[in-house]
Amino acid sequence: MTEIGIGILGGGYMGKAHAVAMLAAGAVFNTALRPRLEMVCASSDQSAERYRKAYGFARATADWHVLVSDPKVEAVVIASPQNTHRAAAEAAFALGKPVFCEKPMGASLEDSRAMVAAAEASGCVNMVGFNYIRTPASRYARHLIASGAIGTVTWFRGEHTEDFLADPQSPATWRTSGMANGTMGDLAPHMINAALALIGPIARVIAEVETIHRVRPGGTVTNDDHAQMMCRFASGVMGQMYFSRVSTGRKMGYAYEITGTKGAIRFDQEDQNALWLYRAEGPEATRGFIKILMGPEHPDYEPFCQGPGHGTGYQDQIIIEAKDFLEAIHGGTAVWPTFRDGMAVSQIVAAALASSATQTWQDVAAF
For the chain, the domains span: 2-132, 136-308+345-358
Q: Looking at domain 2-132, which CATH architecture does it have? A: 3-Layer(aba) Sandwich (3.40)
41: left (phi over 0), alpha (psi -120 to 50) or beta: beta
Task: Please say whether the structural domain 136-308+345-358 has been given the CATH code 1.25.40.340.
Answer: no
Computed over its alpha carbons, how large is the radius of gyration of the chain? 21
Q: What pTM, to 2 d.p., does this model score?
A: 0.96
Quote the CA–CA distance of 363 and 367 in Å, as a whole number. 8
* Cβ atoms of residues 196 and 244 within 8 Å: no
Same fold, 2-132 and 136-308+345-358: no
How many residues comprise the chain? 367
Task: List the Cα angle 185/189/195 in 5-degree steps.
Answer: 155
- For 80-123, the pLDDT digits (tens) are 999 999 999 999 999 999 999 999 999 999 999 999 999 999 99
Output the pLDDT for position 183: 98
Q: What is the pLDDT of residue 123?
A: 97
In this predicted structure, what is the pLDDT of residue 113? 98
Q: Buried b / exposed e across 34-55, counting CB within 10 Å, b at 16+?
A: bbbbbbbbbeeeebbbebbeeb
pLDDT at residue 1 above 80? no
Say if residues 354 and 343 touch (Cβ distance below 8 Å): no
* pLDDT score for 59: 98
Write the pLDDT tens digit of every residue in 264-323: 999 999 999 999 999 999 999 999 999 999 999 999 999 999 999 999 999 999 999 999
Q: Which of 251, 254, 244, 257 is nearest to 198 (CA)?
A: 257
Task: Give 221's contacts (C-beta < 8 A, 6+ positions apart).
Answer: 172, 176, 177, 211, 213, 214, 215
